[in-house]
Amino acid sequence: MEALSEIRVPAKLDHLHTLIDLVSNCAKEQGLSGKRINEIEIATEEALVNIFRYAYQGQEGDVEISCRAEHGKTFIIRIIDAGMAFNPLSLAEPDTTLDISERQIGGVGVFLIRKLMDDVIYRRDGDKNILELVVNIEV
């Protein structure tokens, strides 16, 4: 299905707001609620920031993001990078019961993605990581 919108930029934090705004505008066009759009923005940020920080291990590289709607039922954000293979779904869930001293924040980003999205799909295709964040469109 044709993308509603897509963009490719260097995988740097400087571009976070541009990418989030694109996704947010797409979600608005699909008639998603303000609450759901906020959750989509969080999940998208978490996925992008992981790519900015780790995918290219200090080297330059791009990230590509696109949104599409399928059959008016699901809204899908696809994020592609050509960095090292990384399946965020392989991370263990953080222990959210520890106290302040013991608590580590690593892994919370991916945990938020999984909790906030209706589905998350990862695949490695050649030298690319393809992550899809799936949101059900409620009619």
Partner 1 sequence: MEINTRQEKNATVVVVQGRIDAVTAPEFENYLSDLISKGNRNFIVNLSALEYISSAGLRSILATAKRLKTEQGDIRFAGLQGPVEEVFKISGFYSIFKIFDSDASALDNA
Q: Is 108 in the site for partner 1 (CB under 8 A)?
A: yes
Place of tokens 């520890």: 98
With contacts defined by CB under 8 A, name the span among 62-70, 81-89, 94-102, 128-136 that binds partner 1.
Answer: 94-102
CB 20 within 8 A of CB 83: no
CB 104 within 8 A of CB 94: yes
Q: Is 124 in the site for partner 1 (CB under 8 A)?
A: no
State how far the Cα of 119 lies from the Cα of 127, in Å rounded to an integer: 23
Minimal distance in Å, beta carbon 53 to partner 1?
9
Q: Which of 9, 91, 112, 134 binds partner 1 (CB under 8 A)?
A: 112
23-52 mask for partner 1 (x: CB under 8 A)?
Answer: ------------x--xx-xx--xx--x--x
Instruction: Name every residue whose Cβ is closer than 8 Å to that of residue 11 and which is 6 or more positions away in sequence.
Output: 51, 52, 55, 56, 60, 61, 62, 63, 81, 83
Q: Is 100 in the site for partner 1 (CB under 8 A)?
A: yes
Minimal distance in Å, beta carbon 127 to partner 1?
25
Q: Which of 4, 7, 9, 16 binds partner 1 (CB under 8 A)?
A: 16
Determine the size of the site formed for partner 1 (CB under 8 A).
Answer: 28
Complete edge-to-edge strand list for the sheet that includes strand 5-10: 5-10, 62-70, 74-81, 128-136, 119-125
* Nearest-10 crossing angle of helices 16-29, 34-50: 150
Name the site residues for partner 1 (rule: CB under 8 A).
Answer: 13, 16-17, 20, 35, 38-39, 41-42, 45-46, 49, 52, 94, 96-101, 103, 105, 108-109, 111-112, 115-116
